[in-house]
């Protein structure tokens, strides 16, 4: 008897229970988690092929993006850079703000010879490590998909004068849909000329390439570690909030002297490798002592600033690239962000960073620079709840991360017809 074409399931006989047709099996599997899917590759040869098919990987990624995690960065020891990064589902965090993070050695960065997380894209984390040799530091990158237990070798080596890393470099990681490759961008701040030089590395290539520089300097200028959120990846572009001039005049108390008009968003298209400048919302017309920032909420570029030290305002660019489409998304008074537990910290003067907005738009996760805990802000009843996690998490480094089946980011992501 000739064998039927390979199918995801066999023809049932009349007594067998309800059998799902192939399209429905694919639908169900696209909702499954990566670990289960890796097991299910053992179900049959056809299932093995289907689960590793690029079209299925893309479908699964789309579904997984609706249920993201935040990479929680813990510093176990500041001295020898013993850091952990734990992807934690946002839905679990919202449901129960009091969590204990697993103390699993799997999440140790030191074992991977790295210290920080630069970014997350399509399930892959870009890690950074370095070692000092005399007056110089050798820096490298490494890519890790925690769900798939896959990791690349160290790559993208660069050398840096030992004083350089924290104040003069910024890294960013994203995916270029045009060439179907993952790219890392290195910004080298030229403070003296108020410019930023740009180098780019396409994963799979050996060398960094220089591309056009831009006449602005991205924020923040001084920060505690390279893993801090200072870039926004959106729709194949990397975006930084930057200042055109006055870089030199910014001291510790100098923000008030900055002209609001000097802020600009530099948007680098990863496909064309050219940048354009986007203006912040025109409603942002008054400077305050607190630094503004950009982030992504609900797949839109957002800009947030302090307003007269009474409110925290978040704007949304409804249509990416269209400056007229900036609309005010939320205006949250600092009073509402204070919880019943009174802190000695004067929250109005510290920086806030929105991390994630829940699917139904009712819970906003916010980080505050001064606080060890993040805030879950309920937008319906204007109530703030603090997370209660005993670990010391650096919330300003938390990246939005999804589980993915993308198995190899060093090769062009070929799509089968």
**Concatenated DSSP letters of 169-228:** EEEEEEEETTTTEEEEEEEEEEGGGTEEEEEEEEBTBSS-EEEEEESSEESPSS-S-TTS
Q: Pick the piece of the chain touching other proteins (CB under 8 A) from 8-16, 240-248, 262-270, 378-386.
A: 8-16
Closer residue to other proteins in complex, CB, 42/252: 42
**What tokens were used for 68?**
């993201």
Least distance in angstroms from the C-beta of 245 to other proteins: 50
Least distance in angstroms from the C-beta of 35 to other proteins: 5
Integer Rg of the chain from CA: 23
Least distance in angstroms from the C-beta of 31 to other proteins: 4
Closer residue to other proteins in complex, CB, 45/331: 45
Closer residue to other proteins in complex, CB, 43/165: 43
Closer residue to other proteins in complex, CB, 46/350: 46
**What tokens were used for 395?**
């919330």
Count of chain residues binding other proteins (CB under 8 A): 32
How many CB atoms within 10 Å of residue 147?
A: 22
Closer residue to other proteins in complex, CB, 28/252: 28
Interface residue with other proteins, options 14, 15, 41, 407 (CB under 8 A): 41
| Block residue for tokens 């709840």 | 385
Cα–Cα dist 323/279, whole Å:
6
Cα–Cα dist 397/127, whole Å:
12
Q: Are 352 and 338 in contact (CB under 8 A)?
A: no
Least distance in angstroms from the C-beta of 21 to other proteins: 9
33 binds other proteins (CB under 8 A): yes
DSSP 3: P
Of residues 133 through 172, those in contact with other proteins by CB under 8 A are: 149
Interface residue with other proteins, options 15, 35, 279, 349 (CB under 8 A): 35
43 binds other proteins (CB under 8 A): yes
Least distance in angstroms from the C-beta of 59 to other proteins: 12
Least distance in angstroms from the C-beta of 55 to other proteins: 17
Closer residue to other proteins in complex, CB, 356/399: 356
Interface residue with other proteins, options 1, 2, 5, 8 (CB under 8 A): 8
Q: Pick the piece of the chain touching other proteins (CB under 8 A) from 6-14, 49-57, 68-76, 118-126.
A: 6-14
Cα–Cα dist 60/69, whole Å:
15
**What tokens were used for 328?**
């005010």
Q: Pick the piece of the chain touching other proteins (CB under 8 A) from 3-11, 134-142, 241-249, 279-287.
A: 3-11
| Block residue for tokens 């984390």 | 125
Closer residue to other proteins in complex, CB, 308/380: 380
Q: Pick the piece of the chain touching other proteins (CB under 8 A) from 37-45, 50-58, 177-185, 273-281.
A: 37-45
Q: Are 174 and 121 in contact (CB under 8 A)?
A: yes
Site string for other proteins, 44-73 (x = CB under 8 A): xxxxx-------------------------
Provide the b/e sequence for 362-393 (b: ≥16 CB within 10 Å).
Answer: ebbbbbbbebebbbbbebeeeebbbbebebeb
Q: Pick the piece of the chain touching other proteins (CB under 8 A) from 33-41, 264-272, 304-312, 407-415.
A: 33-41
Q: What share of the chain is helix, strand, coil (3-state, %, to 5)?
A: 20, 40, 45
Cα–Cα dist 226/222, whole Å:
10
Of residues 205 through 244, those in contact with other proteins by CB under 8 A are: none
362 binds other proteins (CB under 8 A): no
Closer residue to other proteins in complex, CB, 31/383: 31
Interface residue with other proteins, options 14, 15, 42, 344 (CB under 8 A): 42
Return the SS3 of 9.
coil
Cα–Cα dist 354/298, whole Å:
12
Site string for other proteins, 11-30 (x = CB under 8 A): -x---xxxxx---xx-xxxx
Which residue(s) pair with 296 in the sheet?
Answer: 301
DSSP 280: P
DSSP H or E run through 367:
strand 363-368
Please, what is the angle between helix 54-64 and helix 22-29, to 10°?
Answer: 50
Closer residue to other proteins in complex, CB, 329/405: 405
Q: Which spans of this chain sit near other proteins (rule: CB under 8 A)?
A: 8-10, 12, 16-20, 24-25, 27-33, 35-36, 38-48, 149
């Amino acid at each position: 008897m000739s064998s039927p074409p390979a199918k995801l399931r066999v023809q049932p006989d009349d007594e067998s229970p309800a059998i799902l047709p192939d399209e429905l099996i694919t639908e169900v599997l696209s909702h499954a988690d990566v670990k289960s899917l890796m097991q299910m590759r053992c179900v049959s040869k056809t299932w093995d092929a289907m689960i590793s098919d690029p079209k299925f990987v893309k479908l699964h990624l789309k579904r997984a993006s609706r249920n993201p995690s935040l990479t929680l960065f813990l510093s176990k020891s500041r001295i020898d850079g013993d850091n952990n990064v734990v992807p934690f589902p946002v839905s679990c965090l919202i449901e129960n703000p009091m969590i204990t993070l697993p103390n699993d050695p799997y999440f140790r960065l030191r074992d991977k010879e790295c210290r920080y997380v630069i970014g997350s894209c399509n399930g892959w984390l870009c890690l950074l490590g370095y070692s000092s040799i005399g007056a110089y530091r050798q820096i490298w990158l490494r890519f890790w998909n925690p769900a798939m237990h896959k990791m690349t070798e160290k790559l993208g080596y660069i050398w840096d004068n030992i004083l350089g890393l924290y104040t003069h470099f910024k890294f960013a990681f994203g995916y270029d849909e045009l060439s179907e490759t993952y790219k890392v961008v290195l910004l080298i701040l030229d403070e003296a000329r108020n410019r930023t030089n740009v180098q780019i590395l396409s994963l799979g290539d050996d060398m960094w390439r220089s591309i056009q520089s831009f006449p602005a300097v991205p924020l923040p200028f001084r920060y505690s570690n390279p893993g801090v959120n200072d870039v926004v990846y959106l729709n194949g572009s990397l975006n930084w909030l930057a200042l055109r001039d006055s870089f030199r005049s910014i001291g510790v108390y100098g923000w008030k002297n900055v002209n609001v008009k000097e802020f600009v968003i530099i948007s680098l298209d990863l496909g064309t490798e050219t940048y354009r400048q986007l203006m912040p919302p025109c409603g942002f017309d008054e400077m305050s002592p607190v630094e503004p920032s950009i982030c992504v909420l609900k797949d839109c570029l957002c800009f947030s600033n302090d307003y007269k030290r009474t409110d925290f305002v978040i704007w949304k660019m409804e249509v990416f690239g269209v400056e007229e489409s900036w609309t005010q998304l939320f205006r949250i008074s600092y009073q509402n962000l204070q919880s019943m537990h009174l802190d000695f910290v004067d929250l109005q003067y510290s920086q806030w960073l929105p991390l994630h907005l829940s699917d139904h738009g009712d819970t906003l996760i916010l980080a505050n620079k001064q606080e060890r805990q993040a805030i879950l802000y309920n937008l319906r009843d204007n109530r703030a709840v603090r997370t209660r996690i005993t670990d010391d998490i650096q919330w300003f480094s938390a990246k939005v991360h999804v589980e993915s089946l993308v198995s190899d980011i060093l090769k062009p992501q070929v799509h089968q017809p």
